[in-house]
């Protein structure tokens, strides 16, 4: 297998680490451990971004210099990652001399190539974003992320000829459809690139900002923070913290893991900078969604973040890691509440894996004192052995396609299968019958095999907890690729004769009362919000569950789609709802689909019990559900294996 290089964004040090940072970093940590488990060479870099106006302002509020402020917050990130066992290979800071040297080298190189020029510019500047915003990016005249009006700035600066590389970037994206994942973010970038790409302002005059990397060709200016920060992905390889140059080994396998709010900088700014510098492009850009608290994105500026330290001390960080990977479908937003976290933990880990382990290990300790020897499998055990083989066979591909939630679902389905097996076999009754001692040993060993198998594949998500379980079961082989994954996950892999005492509570049930304790710890760690939260639109009148039950929603597969002559907004659809024949539905979604035939084969959400409506174009026998945005309606589609006529609710 080819080597792979994972990166997180480098985190801005204007505030301490929170759960958004934790999620991205833990994802990279899990990917590193999973890749290594599968026998792949891996390198993982993270770090902190320490220049720019926000750092100067944050430092000034505390009455210290920006370097002292950056030193303190950067150390908090390192301490947080060390405390929760993030296994990074290098931690880079943009104030490191090695990074400064490389940024100035690239700036000079790009300048000498004629891709940097000097000009006067007037634009709307957002201090929170530390960049100029276009009119199209503003919402009601304000930055949508910070809810503040940008400042009109007129000044002379240096510009990078980003537009020069627009077509080359479009060509690369179109020739490499999997370069940006998930696909909807690739489409978003291509949509943005349909308009002329403006050149990028890459300097700030020292009369306005001194805290930054000085331009090598004009000491009156410092580098724009994004041009500086993005180069960390290469500067950390050109000169590691150990002084090595490992660029040739790792760069072309680089896989960036980012949140969707920095898609534009990573999918447009960064590749065009690399093109200008004559460097190969990275291998992959994987984009995840937001963690939402209620209807708002978790954000330090909104004051609704969760600090890793508070979680670790109250709940255990690895339990949270499991929840995050299980609940978020990669690329989509996901909601977080403490109630949901505790419910998931208790159902999957306490009542699921933990209960399976304690029930089997407790009986083994009492009846045998050591793990039983292997025996031929009966018909009752073979489905579990086959399920393990299937999960192990798909594990690597699911991780590589970022289907983390599916991995967790598969493992918990196996645990549920084993639990039902135990209920059928009733080992607690077998333990009372000396004549069935061999059957008891076989059943208990099978249950422990499922636990061992699950702990191996869950170890990238919960490394310390799973290592403790595996040691208890006598599984001491390293999970670093030196032992093939197929060997580790064989169903007869449990070592016999391992002394076994009554097991500790690996996953004790959580009391919802812990939420108050977590909230108190969180309040102590989280400063008050500095910016006003976004204004939410008032809800429409609430309905009851009885009201909702009147609406029959079904999945419908489009078998035919076309324009409607004389109608500006309508398309005509024939939709299969699992009935005797398809229904004709007229839908006002033409603006989103220039060629309606692209809808053929898609499965849409349809209101199936809407009274048919006679229109001048024909009878419409239902309504397609659609989301509105940008003045157009986009049909709601399904992402899983859904059959025509399946009910939605």
Catalytic positions: 18, 21, 126, 129, 143, 146, 297, 300
Written as one string, the DSSP assignment of 444-471 is HHHHHHHHHHHHHHHTTTSHHHHHHHHH
Residue with tokens 């097996």: 421
CA angle 135, 140, 143 (to 5 degrees): 65
Under 8 Å between Cβ of 418 and 384:
yes
The C-alpha atoms of residue 120 and residue 603 are separated, in whole angstroms, by: 52
Q: What is the token pair recorded at 45?
A: 């870099």
Nearest to 199 by CA among 302, 269, 284: 269
Max Cα-Cα span within the chain: 92
Spatial neighbors of 495 by CB under 8 A, at least 6 apart, are 371, 473, 474, 475
Handedness of CA 199, 13, 50, 252 (dihedral sign): negative
CA–CA–CA angle 621, 623, 626 (5° rounding):
160
Q: Which two tokens stand for residue 628?
A: 């509105």
> How many Å apart are CA 191 and CA 197, to the nearest integer?
12
Do residues 423 and 340 lie in contact, with contact meaning Cβ atoms separated by under 8 Å?
no
Could you tell me how far CA 417 lies from the centroid of its own chain? 28
3-class secondary structure, 648: strand
Instruction: Give the number of other CB atoms < 10 A from CB of residue 441.
Output: 21
Encoded tokens for 381? 């055990």
The single residue listed with the structure tokens 């934790």 is 22
Is the separation of the CB atoms in 240 and 90 below 8 Å? Answer: yes
Per-position DSSP letters for 331-361, written without gaps between them: TS-EE--HHHHHHHIIIIIIIIIIHHHHHHH
* Alpha helices (H) in 157-300, listed in sequence order: 166-175, 183-192, 225-230, 232-238, 247-250, 263-264, 270-277
First-to-last C-alpha distance (Å) of the chain: 43
Backbone angles phi, psi at 609, to 5 degrees: -110, 25
Provide the token pair at 66.
Answer: 């920006």
In sequence order, what are the residues at sequence separation of 6 or more whose Cβ sits closer than 8 angstroms to the Cβ of residue 128? Answer: 54, 143, 145, 146, 148, 301, 531
Rounded Cα–Cα distance for residues 368 and 501 (Å) = 10
Tokens 């009986």 found at? 363
Q: How far apart are CA 40 and CA 30, in angstroms?
A: 13
The CA–CA distances, whole Å, from 36 to 1, 287, 457 equal 10, 22, 12
* Cβ atoms 13, 55 nearer than 8 A: yes
DSSP element (H, E) containing 627 = strand 626-629
For 83, 322, 341, the CA distances from 521, given in Å and listed in that order, are 17, 21, 17
């Amino acid at each position: 297998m080819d080597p792979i290089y994972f990166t997180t964004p480098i985190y801005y040090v204007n505030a301490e680490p929170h759960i958004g940072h934790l999620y991205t970093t833990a994802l990279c940590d899990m990917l590193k451990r999973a890749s290594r488990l599968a026998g792949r060479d891996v390198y993982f870099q993270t770090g902190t971004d320490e220049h720019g106006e926000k750092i100067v302002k944050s430092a000034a509020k505390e009455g210290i210099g920006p370097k002292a402020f950056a030193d303190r917050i950067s150390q908090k990130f390192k301490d947080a990652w060390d405390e929760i066992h993030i296994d990074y290979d290098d931690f880079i800071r943009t104030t490191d001399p090695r990074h400064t040297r490389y940024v100035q080298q690239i700036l000079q190189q790009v300048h000498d190539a004629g891709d940097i020029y000097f000009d006067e510019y007037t634009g709307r500047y957002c201090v929170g974003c530390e960049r100029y915003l276009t009119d199209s990016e503003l919402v009601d005249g304000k930055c949508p992320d910070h809810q503040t009006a940008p400042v009109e700035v007129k000044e002379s600066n240096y510009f990078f000829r980003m537009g020069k590389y627009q077509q080359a970037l479009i060509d690369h994206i179109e020739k490499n459809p999997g370069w940006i994942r998930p696909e909807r973010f690739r489409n978003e970038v291509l949509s943005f690139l349909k308009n002329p790409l403006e050149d990028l302002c890459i300097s700030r005059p020292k009369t306005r900002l001194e805290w930054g990397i000085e331009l090598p060709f004009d000491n009156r200016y410092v580098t724009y923070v994004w041009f500086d920060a993005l180069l960390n992905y290469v500067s950390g390889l050109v000169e590691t913290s150990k002084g090595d140059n490992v660029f040739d080994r790792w760069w072309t396998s680089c896989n960036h893991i980012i949140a969707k709010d920095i898609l534009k900088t990573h999918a447009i700014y960064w590749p065009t900078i690399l093109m200008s510098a004559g460097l190969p492009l990275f291998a992959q850009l994987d984009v995840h969604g937001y963690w939402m608290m209620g209807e708002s994105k978790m954000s330090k500026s909104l004051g609704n973040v969760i600090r890793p330290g508070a979680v670790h001390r109250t709940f255990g960080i690895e339990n949270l890691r499991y929840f995050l990977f299980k609940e978020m479908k990669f690329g989509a937003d996901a909601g977080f509440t403490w109630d949901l976290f505790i419910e998931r933990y208790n159902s999957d880990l306490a009542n699921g894996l933990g209960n399976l382990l304690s029930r089997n290990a407790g009986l083994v300790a009492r009846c045998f004192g050591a793990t039983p020897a292997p025996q031929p499998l009966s018909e009752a055990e073979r489905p579990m052995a086959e399920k393990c083989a299937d999960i192990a066979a798909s594990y690597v591909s699911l991780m590589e396609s970022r289907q983390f939630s599916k991995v967790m679902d598969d493992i918990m389905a196996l645990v549920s299968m084993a639990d039902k097996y135990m209920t059928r076999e009733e080992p607690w009754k077998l333990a009372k019958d000396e004549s069935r001692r061999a059957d008891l040993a076989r059943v208990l060993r099978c249950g422990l095999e499922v636990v061992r198998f699950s702990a191996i594949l869950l170890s990238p998500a919960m490394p310390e907890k799973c290592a403790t379980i595996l040691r208890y079961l006598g599984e001491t082989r390293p999970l670093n690729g030196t032992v093939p994954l197929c060997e580790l996950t064989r169903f007869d892999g449990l070592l016999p004769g391992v002394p076994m005492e009554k097991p500790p509570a690996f996953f004790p049930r959580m009391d919802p009362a812990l939420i108050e304790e977590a909230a108190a710890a969180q309040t102590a760690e989280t400063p008050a919000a500095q910016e006003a939260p976004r204004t939410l639109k008032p809800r429409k009148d609430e309905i009851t569950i009885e009201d909702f039950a009147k609406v029959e929603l079904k999945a419908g597969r489009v078998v035919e789609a076309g324009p409607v002559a004389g109608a500006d907004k309508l398309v005509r659809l024939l939709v299969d709802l699992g009935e005797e024949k398809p229904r004709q539905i007229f839908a006002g979604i033409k603006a989103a689909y220039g060629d309606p035939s692209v809808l053929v084969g898609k499965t849409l959400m349809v209101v199936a019990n809407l009274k048919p409506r006679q229109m001048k174009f024909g009878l419409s026998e239902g309504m397609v559900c659609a989301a509105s945005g940008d003045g157009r309606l986009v049909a709601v589609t399904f992402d899983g294996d859904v059959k025509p006529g399946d009910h939605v609710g």
